[in-house]
Each structure stands twice: as C-alpha cells, then as structure tokens.
Chain A
Amino acid sequence: MKQLPTQTAGSNGSPDAASIAEIFTDLNAIWMSDPQALSEQLKHLHEAMGDVAENISAHSAAEDATARDPMQKILDCVDTLAQTSRQYHQVFGQWLIEYVKQTPRLNNTRRELVLFWVKQFIEMASPANCFWTNLQAVKKLFESEGQSLVRGMQNWMSDCHHGGGLVALADPDSFVLGSDLAATPGHVVFRNAIMEVIQYTPQTDTVWQTPIVMIQPWINKYYIFDLSARNSFVAYLVRQGYTVFITSWKNPGSDMQYTRFDDYMFKGVKTAIQVACQISGASRVHAAGYCIGGTALAALAGWMAGDTTPPPIGDITLFATLLDFSHPGEIAALINPETVQAIRNLASHQGMLLSHQVASAFRMLKPGDLIWRYVINNYFCGGKPPRSDMLFWNNDGTRLPAAMCRQYLEAFYLENRLAAPNALRVGGRPIDLRRIKQPLYNVGAAKDHICPWTGTFQSCRLTGGKVRFVLADEGHIIGIVNPPSPWSKKTYLAGAATRRTDTDKWKATQTPAKGSWWPDWMAWLKPRSGRRVAPPTMGSRQHPALEPAPGMYVFEK
C-alpha cells in the first residue's frame, strides 16, 4: 500500500477545496492498492444499508386515506423522506468514520486531519441541512406562503454583506453594550495602543486590600465576564468586596500587523498589573487570566521570576488555559505546519486575520451547534437569529495581528516552547515556568474543546508553586461563566495537585461538589487578600478616570 503524502496545502499555501479533495483522493488510493481489504469495507457498507432498507420496509405505514389535504400529503411525504434519509445518513456516516479510522499506514496526525474533514462532510450532508428533507422548513414555507424563504434569502444576503459570509448566531440589535451587557459600573482608567484597563466601581463599604486583575483573551471581546447582570463574573467579584480591574483589548487594524505576543505580555498584562497596583496602592495583585490571556499571564509570571525585585503578582488563577500545547484538542486538526503556513500567508497578506476568518475556525469545531442550526433557523425557516447574551458575544468577533498569529501558532502550538524550560525567549529573557513560586488556582472545564481539561491540568506540573485544581462541568465558556444560583445543577471537582499527580487518578479521587466553583475560588482567594480597607478612588492622579465603562475599544468592529 502507498503512504499518504504529507502535503495538504494548495500550491499557494491555502487549505483550498482542491487540496482537501487531494487528501481524500490519496486516502482512496491507499485502499485501491488493496482491493481485497476495500471489498471487505464495501461489503460492510452494503450490509448496513441493506439492514436500513429492511427496517424501513418493515415499519412503513400504509397511506392514510383520510389525509386528503394536498399540503398535508406533501408534508407527510417530506417527513417520510426525512426519516428515511436520516437512517441512511447515520449508517453511512458511521461507516465513513470507521473507513478512515481503519485506513492502514496513516499516521495519527494525518488521520485526525482526514477525520476532521470527514466529520465536516457528514455534518453538512445531514438531511436536516437539506431544505426538502427538513420538515420544519417545508412547513414554514407553506404556512407563510413562501415568505419564510424570502426572509431567509434576505438574512443570507445580510450575512454576506455584513458578516463576511458567516451565518449570524444572534440578533445584532438585541443587546446594547453598556446598558444590557458590559454594564457593571466602572471607568476606563488607562488606555494605550493595545488595551484599555477598566476599574469597577466598589459596591461595598470596605474592600479587600489586594485587587483582582483579570487578563481577558483578545480572541473575542472582554465582556464574556460581564454579560447580563445575573451572570456577570466581575459583578460577582465586586459584590464579594474586591477591587476589580479588567483588560479590554483593542480590535486590531492594519497598523497593528507587527504587534507580537510579547507586546500583549508587556504593554498589556504587565502594564495592567502596574496600573492596578498604582491605583489601589497594593504591592501585589491577584492575577487571573482566561484562555490566551492566561497563557500570556503565566508567561509573564515566568519572565518576572527572573527579576531581582519581588513580583507584583501575589497569586495566579488560570481559567481554561493551556501552557502545555502538546495535546490541544480538536483544534489540532487545523493546526499543522501546512495549515499554519496557509494562515501565515493569509495574515501576512492582510496584515491580520479578519474576525470572520478567526470565527470560522472555531465554528468548524462545532459545526452542528455553531453553523447548521442557524442555517436552518435563519435561511431555511426565515427566522430571526435568537436573542442570547452568550451568542451575541460569540458573534462579536475580533481581528488578530499577523505577527501575533504567527508567533502564537508556531512557538506555542507547533513547537510547544512555553512548556519546555528556557525554550521560549521574549523580552531578552528565556522563560522557565518552574520558577513561578506563587500559588496557582487552575480551572479546567470537562467538555472544553478549545483547551481540553487534561491539557490545562499539565500546568500543575509546569509551575513551581502550590496548586489547587478545579474541574468544572461543561465547556470553555459555560464551565467558567458559572454563577452561583439556586437552579444550578452543575457539579465540580476541586483539590490539590502536585507536579507528580496523575490526571486520571486526581479525577478519580475527588468528591464532586454541587453548584458553582466561584465560592470555592473565593474561599481560596480571601485568606490571601490582606485586610479590609477603604475602597481606592476610581483612577488616580497618575491614571485619571478617562470615561465610563465599557470604554471605547469594545465598540470597535
């Protein structure tokens, strides 16, 4: 049998349709070189399809003679067709996945890539995603006398015009930033070319001496931690008596094409911590980072460990953050030398990755939830995109600077240099995460497909301080945005972890706790927070309050 070639990118380096087709041509060539094995595979498919046909034939009902309404007859027909095709689709999809999994002499990286595209194809070919096998869409067509399709067409044209061709996940007019979302009172107290720092207005007579600085990811807007009032993370922390600062990153334009990861570390994270110390008068802060914000925070903490002066970071909290990128989960299928080259070419040509290009990659990890469901609702049924604060935020994407993309994908994802002591050099120093001696509160989410929890657990081994690891239910967003609530059905695990703790053993030996893990974080944080003191002023002489939250950068499209 021949070996599948490693080249998958097109001649211009882009992962175009031709190069994806080439992967499948080569996959089939492997099977064609062993006709007997291929014949066995096809026999399995034939038998499975035969079983479906038999099942359909056994369960087919006699036509209801009372159904005389021609429209109802058509709908019955559509329903039968949908049910039949769904059964065939399910069987064929399962067979196709096994066909790829059993392809001999295919390295795991290549197999994962092929499986990724096969799953995209299976999802796309679902009968629900075809108009005439979607009963709901056909019903709407008849009920609205064709108007649903007219509205669907208008929705599609609007998405082509405004959304870069991506189907809208949420009604863009359903929320107003500053009044419905990102509405916790506060002020922008610092602004530079890369970020604004927001300080929230205290809501208690006294506050803990040590403030919290939240380092947000720049692959979306900051207000995922300040959604509606009842699930705002920052509002919860303010009510707990903390002075809270948060980063709101600039949505990059072409003038930021040379902005690197280092810039986010030094002009962003380091500066935000300095500003918080200067305003609050504290010598150190509780520093908390989410996703790539956590990666930048940990990298900075490792970098600062080389300072002779005491670090201004008292302890570190990481939310769904990877420091070891050796097993980055499903996104690994999109990040290999060829696709990184393609992304580099695209970013270099444009000076940045555009928001819809970034969003496309993440949506392809969950095509059913983040693409096809909305194609059906918005286009086939002509419905309005839904009103949901999380989806509104998800739809409000950002661009990424070309230089940062290149550095992040290569040094972190491909070469995993942050995890190796002294392998990543920034700001004139190598970074060794083992030199981080601050306590670490490390949160992973059990169903996180962007930063798998087993990957986030590796941070317990990489850093040198005491660690409490928390495993939240749910995924990358809802696992973290997890407010205490009388209705909460969530559970979490929490316990100490050391450099030698085995991931599975840790999980097996923890007792599930009910509800949100936020109170557990508070119980960990408060003994480290010093005395209760009078709240600091909003801003200071050095950093005057510039304008009310949510500031300016969050509105940049």
Chain B
Amino acid sequence: MKVSTALIIEGLQQVFPECKQMDLSIETLLGDLPEWDSMAAVNFQTYLQQQFELEVPIELLADSTSLQEVMEFIANPVPV
C-alpha cells in the first residue's frame, strides 16, 4: 500500500490539533507529540485502522516509535 507522509501527518493533526504548531517529519517520535499517552495511542490506532482499513497493533504505537515506522507498517501490513 502506498502511504503518503501527508496523509499520516494530516491524521495526526486531526487526532492532535496541537500538532499543527509542530514541525512534523518522518523522524518525529510519537512520544514527542503533545499529550501523547496510552489513550492518545488508542485514538491514533483507531484513526489509522479506519483510514487504511487494516489492523494496527497497539504495541507498535509507543513513545519511541517514529512516524517512519508507522508508515512502514502501513505500507507492508502483516496480519496481526
């Protein structure tokens, strides 16, 4: 699946409006996002699952996960 950075960033900005004031890039770690915590992870997981119609494991979405890694998972989804 082709995944554009813009789509991921747009999703993040939807889930976290505060992100609009950040310079987001593929190196950005989820833990750097304002208010990032377990519930934020569940909300981001929900967004990704609805947007890309695949199952995203919640344990992938940790503080140390970069947007690059999220995109790689979506580009090459593995049944979870």
Chain A residues in contact with chain B, CB under 8 A? 83, 86-87, 90, 126-128, 136, 230-231, 366, 368-370, 373, 386-388, 390-391, 447, 449, 473-479, 482-483, 485, 487-491, 516
In the complex the two chains form, what is the Cα distance from A388 to B47 in whole Å?
10
Interface size class of B (residues with CB under 8 A): 20 to 34
A516 touches B40 (CB 8 A): no
A483 touches B59 (CB 8 A): yes
- By a CB distance below 8 angstroms, the chain B residues around A487 are 57, 59-60, 73, 80
A368 touches B35 (CB 8 A): yes
In the complex the two chains form, what is the Cα distance from A478 to B43 in whole Å?
13
State whether A482 and B20 are in contact (beta carbons under 8 Å apart), knowing that A370-B39, A489-B69 are contacts in the complex.
Answer: no
- By a CB distance below 8 angstroms, the chain A residues around B49 are 386-388
State whether A90 and B59 are in contact (beta carbons under 8 Å apart), knowing that A366-B39, A390-B42, A489-B65 are contacts in the complex.
Answer: no
- By a CB distance below 8 angstroms, the chain A residues around B69 are 489
In the complex the two chains form, what is the Cα distance from A52 to B43 in whole Å?
31
Please report which residues of chain B, range 31-80, place their CB below 8 angstroms from some CB of chain A when the two chains form the complex: 35, 37-43, 45-46, 49-50, 57-65, 69, 73, 80
Among all A-B residue pairs, the 4 with the closest Cβ atoms: A475-B38, A369-B39, A489-B62, A478-B38
In the complex the two chains form, what is the Cα distance from A478 to B15 in whole Å?
19
State whether A474 and B37 are in contact (beta carbons under 8 Å apart), knowing that A90-B21, A126-B17, A128-B17 are contacts in the complex.
Answer: yes
B37 touches A230 (CB 8 A): no
- By a CB distance below 8 angstroms, the chain B residues around A489 are 59-65, 69
A83 touches B62 (CB 8 A): no
Sample of 13 A–B contacts (CB below 8 Å): A83-B20, A90-B21, A136-B14, A366-B39, A369-B35, A386-B49, A387-B49, A388-B42, A390-B58, A475-B37, A478-B58, A485-B80, A487-B73
Main SS class of interface, B = helix
Chain B: minimal CB distance from A122 (Å)? 12
A86 touches B60 (CB 8 A): no
Nearest A residue to B29 via CB reads A489
State whether A488 and B39 are in contact (beta carbons under 8 Å apart), knowing that A83-B20, A128-B17, A391-B46 are contacts in the complex.
Answer: no
Chain A: minimal CB distance from B11 (Å)? 11
B38 touches A479 (CB 8 A): yes
- By a CB distance below 8 angstroms, the chain B residues around A391 are 42, 46
- Additional pairs, 15, CB under 8 Å, beyond known A127-B17, A475-B39: A90-B21, A126-B17, A366-B37, A368-B35, A369-B35, A369-B37, A373-B15, A373-B43, A388-B42, A388-B49, A390-B58, A474-B38, A485-B57, A490-B62, A516-B59
